[in-house]
Structure 1
Amino acid sequence: MAKIRKLSALVVVGALALTAAGCASTQGGDSSEGGSLTYWSMWKEGEAQQKVLASAIDDFQKETGITVDVQWQGRDNTKKVVPTLNTNKVPDLIDGSFAKLAPVLAESGQAKALADAYAADVDGEKAADLIPKAYLAGDILTRKGDDAPWMLPYSLTSDAVWFNAATHPDLVSAPPADWDAFIAELDKLKAANEVPIAIDGDVAGYNAYWYTAAIVHIAGPGALLEIASDKSGKAWDEPEALEAAEMVQQLVDGGYFISGYNASKWPAQQQAWADNKAALMFNGTWIPTETGPYAADGFEYSSFPFPTVDGGEKVARADFVGFSVPARAKNAENAQKFATFFLQKKYQDALGTDAKILPVRQDAATSPEMETVKAALDSADAFYQQNDGISFPGYTEKLLWPAINDLVLGKVTAKEFVATMESGQADYWKQNS
């Protein structure tokens, strides 16, 4: 298999470029400040993350006198904000993943540069210094011409190959380090009459993890983004593109995926995995929280990272979840104050221990379920984002994900997948140039 190709600035970890004056504190503020802000949250009432945010909102209102009108809208908050962007009804603050916010706010020029937020003091440090620069490649959060990023992250999501340590202690002590060892482990599981991998094939984003992880482990972070940026589509002729597709086809042809994955409905297969009906599942860091209510008795969450390819670098996915302020926000200053207020360590610790997710601060506490993922991130050589950072409007939903779906579901071969992407991408750019 091909060795990893270095891809200039897309791979080189860059320093966060921002020029902001002053370090105004957002903590312990004068309760006479007053004012308000409207916040549309990606979390729903009752979720662990929502509870942490609600506590922070209460504290913020008491300390600053600023009223927060929060709407717990759930994951559709990004869709709901689109019709408001050019109106007076736009919220002052919205949160979500980079993959959801970037096409709607950053690519469309509808997000403010958050200079005040990044310059603010949080626990005696500049907010900008609390975002680990190792996770930032090519200043991905700063648009050309802006003086600061358009998003202030408060947590990370990553992915991992999850398993039950209680039933597979061997994977704790000796996880497969490279792709060949991974395939050997899958064969070993099959020989023991175990189902190797559970996957909910009707979730396009989950299917896409396999191809994205494969290509960035072959060619490096930014490789898929670089291919997707080629308006002719000819970049899909690169051998790495086919090689990654062949890795996915190897899983399909090997019969490693759970029976019925191509016809079931989420969360059927992750429920099966949590009930020990499959050994492994490649999925996000929310899996312990999401599957915990129905996991088998004694289930011990553990994981190992996607294996390296042909002795290549250790590459890990590090996706941001955070705040953004729409360009037409009426109370942008107050919105930025709350965004930085939430970076305080006590709230970051609560995200780690109570919500059991990965806080963005390096010094924040994490839950036992996240220890293996945190270790993988800490030891990684390079980082990438979901879909390798592709945020072209409609590209993933209308072209990339449907094509990967067909590959993962065994409807097309690796070569057919590449051909579909090449022609489809040329058409996409003709319509979106």
Structure 2
Amino acid sequence: MKKKLVSVLLTAAMVATMAAGCGSSDGGSGDGGSDEGGSGKEMTYWSMWNSTESQAKVIQEAADAYEEETGIHINIEWKGRDMKTLIGTALEAGEDIDLFDDDYMRVVMNTKDYLVDLSTLEGEEEFESHVMPVILDKAKSWGDGKLYVVPYQVYTTGVWYNKDMWEEAGLTEDDKPTTFEEFKEVCQKIKDAGYNPLTCNSDSVNLIYGFQMARYIGQEAVLECFNNGDWANEPAALQAAEDIAELVDAGYFSPNAPAQYPDGQNEIGFGESCMVLNASWIPNEINVNTQADLEFGFFPWPSVEGGVDGAEASMVGAQGYGINKESDMQQEAFDFATMIATGDYDLEMASSVNSIPSDTENTEWPAAIADAEPYFKEMTKAYDWAVGLETNADFTPIINENVVKLIKGESTPDEFISAISAAQ
């Protein structure tokens, strides 16, 4: 790396062992920066995490070390998952924000007009060498070849299941389904064992519909249908809805599904449900939220008869930092963001929250998500989050609302297609 970035990363890593612990409440990162050696500068960072989460503790530790190294105090405002609805309005209103984070696709797709092109900053070229190619290529594809986001906390997506329940249902590693028909057979065995086969959160149901539709026609065709509002003329759109309705009618979803986040996924930790389709942060969240100590298995969302995609295609991505182009601390914000995304802090983040390391030099996965690693290495097609069904901030809630109704049994597949067609 260029000297400035190397200095921040290496010095901060050494200082981290001496830093004065984690910060504070949701209002900010504490009272640092008041020491006599401080620079008097402050950086404002809006975070997608809550202050009590493990991610926040790692970030706060890094912020303390960064301040010790540079004298710059980072004022962290812990916004939680509301970030995705707050940040666009805040940037448009000219809020004093230097740095923020969210899902890296949303950062670029929804706020690119407010972001700095990172190639204008010192150390960007070297930073790129630390980013997984599949993540870097995706991020640049949304930015018309330019990088506008610093990816961190990489994830992959598929079906996570409670290994104890799986075994109680008489299932083994060899029974991991690869086709939708096999998936239904697995669901029936889990139901016969006295558990809900599937659970889900209401805010992530677009994953289920997106995956199922993409298994038939691939992401590009899903996006074409989505962008053109051509739901009524795309057979796979109806077929995917019919497949989900079949799972509902067979009683394979939890009777509470879709539940509010995180109540749906927490059913696994409470011993009620066995499987959930979501990203690789799920095992950690469930164990933390429910005080459980579960072992999780993993398999990709299954293929469908006559479809074009299978286990080689998955949603893969990361959280990401965006830097406000109106900020007068662009370089400093970039240095801090890359400090989180590489080296020791990347390793600490991965071990603290059981996530995939984002730095290509950090190669060991935490044991909690290791079951997904072989599939990740074989993946050749990277879907967007929800297979692109969340690339339109105005239409995403409509898709979500109607998939929720479908899973609750409040609408038929035909009514589902009619509703989203009329809305778009």
Q: Report TM bin, short chain.
A: 0.7 to 0.9
Quickly say closer, same or farther: Cα 1:361–1:174, change in 2 above 3 A: farther
2:276 to 257, 276, 281: 281
Pairing 1:290–2:285 present: yes
Counterpart mapping for 1:354-369 below 5 A: 354-364=352-362, 365-369=364-368
Structure 1: segments with no counterpart, 5+ residues: 1-21, 426-433
Separation (CA, whole Å) in 2 of partners of 1:296 and 1:171: 26
Higher helix share: 2
Partner of 1:168, secondary structure, is helix
Q: What's the CA shift for 1:265?
A: 4.9
Quickly say closer, same or farther: Cα 1:267–1:330, change in 2 above 3 A: same
Quickly say closer, same or farther: Cα 1:240–1:118, change in 2 above 3 A: farther
Quickly say closer, same or farther: Cα 1:354–1:407, change in 2 above 3 A: same
Q: What's the CA shift for 1:235?
A: 5.3
Work out whether residues 208 and 401 of structure 1, in 8 Å CA contact, stay in contact via their aligned partners in 2: yes
Letter in 1 for 2:76: V
Quickly say closer, same or farther: Cα 1:282–1:208, change in 2 above 3 A: same
Partner of 1:45, secondary structure, is coil
Structure 2: segments with no counterpart, 5+ residues: 13-36
The answer for the alignment partner of 2:179 in structure 1 is 178
Quickly say closer, same or farther: Cα 1:391–1:59, change in 2 above 3 A: same
Pairing 1:329–2:327 present: yes
Q: What CA deviation, in whole Å up to 9, does each residue of 1:147-199 have, x standing for no partner?
A: 62111111223333222223424343431111111111112223344322223
Partner of 2:6, secondary structure, is coil
Pairing 1:199–2:194 present: no
Pairing 1:248–2:252 present: no
Q: What's the CA shift for 1:384?
A: 0.9
Letter in 1 for 2:391: S
Counterpart mapping for 1:89-128 below 5 A: 89-98=95-104, 100-102=106-108, 104-106=110-112, 109-116=113-120, 119-120=123-124, 126-128=126-128
The answer for the alignment partner of 1:259 in structure 2 is 255
Letter in 1 for 2:216: I
Identity over the aligned pairs, expressed in percent? 22
Output the TM-score relative to the length of structure 1.
Answer: 0.80
Separation (CA, whole Å) in 2 of partners of 1:43 and 1:185: 35
Work out whether residues 151 and 324 of structure 1, in 8 Å CA contact, stay in contact via their aligned partners in 2: yes
Q: What's the CA shift for 1:346?
A: 0.7
Separation (CA, whole Å) in 1 of partners of 2:255 and 2:92: 48
Work out whether residues 104 and 110 of structure 1, in 8 Å CA contact, stay in contact via their aligned partners in 2: no
The answer for the alignment partner of 1:26 in structure 2 is 5
Quickly say closer, same or farther: Cα 1:226–1:183, change in 2 above 3 A: same
Report how many aligned residue pairs link the two structures: 389
For the aligned residues, what is the CA RMSD?
2.9
Work out whether residues 284 and 368 of structure 2, in 8 Å CA contact, stay in contact via their aligned partners in 1: no
The answer for the alignment partner of 2:60 in structure 1 is 54
Pairing 1:133–2:137 present: no
The answer for the alignment partner of 1:9 in structure 2 is none
The answer for the alignment partner of 1:379 in structure 2 is 378
Q: What's the CA shift for 1:92?
A: 0.7
Separation (CA, whole Å) in 1 of partners of 2:134 and 2:180: 25
The answer for the alignment partner of 1:6 in structure 2 is none
2:298 to 275, 299, 303: 303
Work out whether residues 163 and 281 of structure 1, in 8 Å CA contact, stay in contact via their aligned partners in 2: yes
Quickly say closer, same or farther: Cα 1:268–1:44, change in 2 above 3 A: closer
